[in-house]
Amino acid sequence: MVRVWASLRPELDRFLHNWYDGTVDLSTVLLCYYSMLLHINTSSGFPVYLQIEAQVKQAIAAGALQQDNALPSVRKLATQLRVNPNTVAKAYQNLEREGVIRTVPGGGTYVADNSPGLLKSEKVRRLRPVARQLAVESTQLRLASGDVVKLVEDELDGLGGKR
Amino acid sequence: MNDLAIHTEGLVKSFGKTCAVAGLNLKVPRGAVYGFLGRNGAGKTTTVKTLLGLLRPSAGFAEVLGYDIRGDLLAILECTGFVPENKTLFGSLTPAQIVHFNQGYFPKWSNELVARYADLFEIPMQTPFSKLSLGNKTKVCHLLALCQGADLLILDEPSIGLDPVITDLLLRVLVEDHVSEGKTVFLSSHQLAEVERIADWVGIIDKGKILLETRLEDVRQNYRLIRAAGDAAPAISSADLIAVQSSENFRSYLVTREAEDFAAMLRAKGMTILEILPVRLEEVFLGLARKEVPCISGKPGMIPAHA
Amino acid sequence: MYQWKAWHDSRARITLYILAALGSGILFGLNVISDANMHTYWAVLYAATRRPFLNYDFCMDLPFWMLDWVVRDCGQIAALLAGLSLGACSVGGEYGAGTMHFVLTRPDARRNLVLTDWKVGLPAMVIIVGGLAFPLLPFLALVHAKGPGNILAGLPALWVLGAAVYGLSYFTTLAAGSAAKGLTLSVAVLLTFSFFPTALNEWWHSDTLLRATEWTLRALKNNAWPLTSFEWGATAFWLAVAAGFLGASLAWIRQREV
């Protein structure tokens, strides 16, 4: 699959080069595609690397990124998002540690197998802060717990078939 | 060659009786993007000028890229790209002529980069400099610094006059062509949003001294704003507390780490915790530098970095 | 690099002055000797360039005051104006323009800025003054009334005076930060030099300063006269003044903060 892709790439590059008068190449198109998936808000106070991690996971969960899809290199993604490469590197490192993505020794980052093989207790531990936030907010808004459960179930259904 | 791009210890610069830089200890790691923040008159531009030999230091030690500013100034100037606060260049020359003037000084000058950036930033290269708008003048200043092949870029107020599109392009160029190559960027700016975006270190200067020097990740990960309510105003002294804001019964505490423990301490003193929020760089800066909110940490004036 | 810039800034001025000087010199020379033998004119010029330090014995019956006026006044004015104007092109003008911080952060020793300016300015001044004086020299030889003399002895005096004035103008522009302020200061210095000794003599009856300044200006007086009376002392004095201003400029720019 990767070899086919690699051989097609020069053709695609040339096509895009001619079509867009040399202002666009394949990496740019891919970056536009990927950066549409990732939207970083640097003034929210929420760490950027966590935003990147969360959004990559979200993209995978929603099916926009499939197994073995290539992710842009640290440098390219940092350039496109206008953030420090160290931030992107940290996000990729964490994602790799969690088994969400994998890096190939020759270079290139790909979406990994989608079952991290964690213990259920570990999965629960990871989700607890999110759950706590949901609990706090719904208490503030005085939403009944039955409604909260239904809300979560609706969201899970919305992602559909990817669990 | 150590691993610091800029290193100062006790740097002092005074003009007669005014002391603009009063014992500055700056450590900018190589390859970092360092945001140098401070109020007007805090000593930012004086520091930058002293590092580049435009001013002579009154006392103290300073090294840029391993070279002493008192002895090896020419070596520093050859490896450092500088965009000054005052974006004035020779009025009667066109940008193309200014490039021609400048390139003779730098062995690593790249004319391909000149062509690429001139196109990217839409710089009118054949118009006399005095006839350019402020934005175009700023672009030319950046062009000269970016094409130099410098190991360190010192940018003083880089976005003056630049529209958002060009600022965005500039950030992109900095990340792609400089930071990704391991070069250091020293950014002195009032545009906190930009700094927050690409910096990984931040240093806040006030009255000629460093108030805070830390990684931006530390700020994002550990700094928290604790909003609490209560009748009592407990006297709190903690090395981790850097600012407090009060109004009526509400208080905001800006802490540098262990926010949960601090919140627990507040609860123990009878206060109700409303929320614990992450902080933006702007809030840290305002908390430290604003006059009506003095720093009340255990060590006023200096906050150690949590590496 | 900086040499290119120094030349670029002053080239219009220099070209204009050279053309003006050459033009005036040639016109003057040709006009006055229009009745004389053109062949003699060229012969004298040719001989002067071949062997400038030998004496020539051409005589012609023209009034002496013309000679004096031509050399002392016209040549002197040319030297003064060229020196003042070119000195004002100094790097000091960059302060006023706000570009000094840019110039001083280029990786080149600061003294090279001053030296490059002088490398461009001094030769320009020499050419301008020479351009005026050179066509006049055969004329001087032709009106020489007192016997053999060195027709080129007049030039060094004009040149060293021009160099000294250039140095003054250069230093004042550097110290004051702009061409306008520099020129004002230079003119003030020149006027003081011209009138203060006389004033001192008239009102305080002290003629020491007056005699000193007159001695320094002797270099300009005895021009086409025998080589033995070449004013080495006064010429050396003006050279020392020029060198002094160069040294002062170098020291100034070394310690200057922006």
Task: Please state the ipTM of this predicted complex.
Answer: 0.83
Among B74, B75, B101, beta carbon nearest to C4: B101
Residue A18 inside a domain? The answer is: yes
Mean pLDDT of the residues in chain C: 76
Identity of the residue in B84, B93, B101 whose CB atom sits nearest the CB atom of C101 = B84
Closest Cβ opposite residue B74 in set C97, C107, C255:
C107
User: Number of folded domains in chain A?
Assistant: 2
Low-confidence ranges of chain B (pLDDT < 50): 293-307
Contact predicate B271/B228, CB 8 Å: yes
Question: Is position A33 within any domain?
Answer: yes
- Those chains having 3 or more beta-carbon pairs within 8 angstroms of chain A are B
CA angle C246, C250, C255 (to 5 degrees): 150
Residues A93 and A126 in one domain: no
pLDDT at A28: 46
Bridge pairing between strands B152-156 and B184-188: parallel
Confidence band for C26, pLDDT divided at 50, 70 and 90: confident
Give yes or no: residues A73 and A132 share one domain: no
pLDDT at C54 over 50: no
What pLDDT score does B244 carry? 83
The answer as to whether A25 is a domain residue is yes
Answer whether B touches A (≥3 Cβ pairs < 8 Å): yes
- Assess whether A65 and A105 both reside in one domain: yes
Q: Which residue has the higher pLDDT, C144 or C140?
A: C140
CA C79, CA C166: separation in Å to the nearest integer? Answer: 9
Show which subunits contact C, needing at least 3 CB pairs below 8 angstroms.
B
Looking at the structure, tell me whether residues A70 and A144 fall in a common domain.
no
- Separation CA C72–CA C129 (nearest Å): 12
Angle CA B73–B76–B77, to nearest 5: 90
Q: What does the pLDDT read at residue B150?
A: 94
Residue A71 lies in a domain: yes
Q: Is residue A67 part of a domain?
A: yes
A70 and A126 assigned to the same domain: no
- Helix (H) or strand (E) holding A8, with range, is helix A2-19
Subunits with at least 3 CB pairs below 8 A relative to chain B?
A: A, C
Q: pTM score, two decimals?
A: 0.79
User: Could you tell me the pLDDT band of residue A12, with boundaries at 50, 70 and 90?
Assistant: low
Asked if residue A83 and residue A145 are part of one domain, the reply reads: no
| Residue A22 located in a structural domain | yes
Same domain? A82 vs A103: yes
User: In the prediction, which pLDDT does C229 show?
Assistant: 59
Q: Which of A111, A130, A146 is the last residue of a domain?
A: A111
**Residues of A in Cβ contact (< 8 Å) with B216:** 84
* CA dihedral (B186, B191, B195, B197) positive or negative: negative
- Tokens for C66, please give them: 């013309």
Mark whether A125 and A105 lie in a shared domain.
no
| Parent domain of A150 | 120-158
Averaged over A6-28, what is the pLDDT? 51
Asked if residue A83 and residue A29 are part of one domain, the reply reads yes
Residue A98 and residue A154 in one domain? no
- Among chain B, residues having any CB pair with chain C shorter than 8 Å are 49, 52-56, 74-75, 77-78, 82, 84, 86, 88-93, 97, 100-102, 104-106
Residue whose pair of structure tokens reads 């850097």 in the numeric block: B242
Half-sphere exposure of A130 (CA within 13 A, CB side): 7
Q: Tell me, yes or no, whether A97 and A142 share the same domain.
A: no
Out of C5, C107, C255, name the one closest to residue B77 (CB). Answer: C107
Query: What number of C-beta contacts closer than 8 Å exist between B and C?
Result: 55
Q: Is A163 part of any domain?
A: no
Residues A58 and A127 in one domain: no
Q: Which one is predicted more confidently, C222 or C221?
A: C221
Smallest CA–CA separation between B202 and chain C, in Å? Answer: 25
Q: Report yes or no on A86 lying in a domain.
A: yes
Mean pLDDT of A116-128: 73
Q: How confident is the model at residue C43 (pLDDT cuts 50, 70, 90)?
A: low
pLDDT digit string (tens) for B181-240? Answer: 999 999 999 888 889 889 999 999 988 999 899 998 888 888 998 888 887 666 677 778
Contacts of B91 in chain C (CB under 8 A): 97
Q: Convert the pLDDT of each residue in B195-210 to its tens digit.
A: 988 999 999 998 899 9
CATH classification at residue A87: 1.10.10.10
Phi-psi group of A47: left, alpha or beta (phi > 0 → left; psi -120 to 50 → alpha; rest → beta): beta
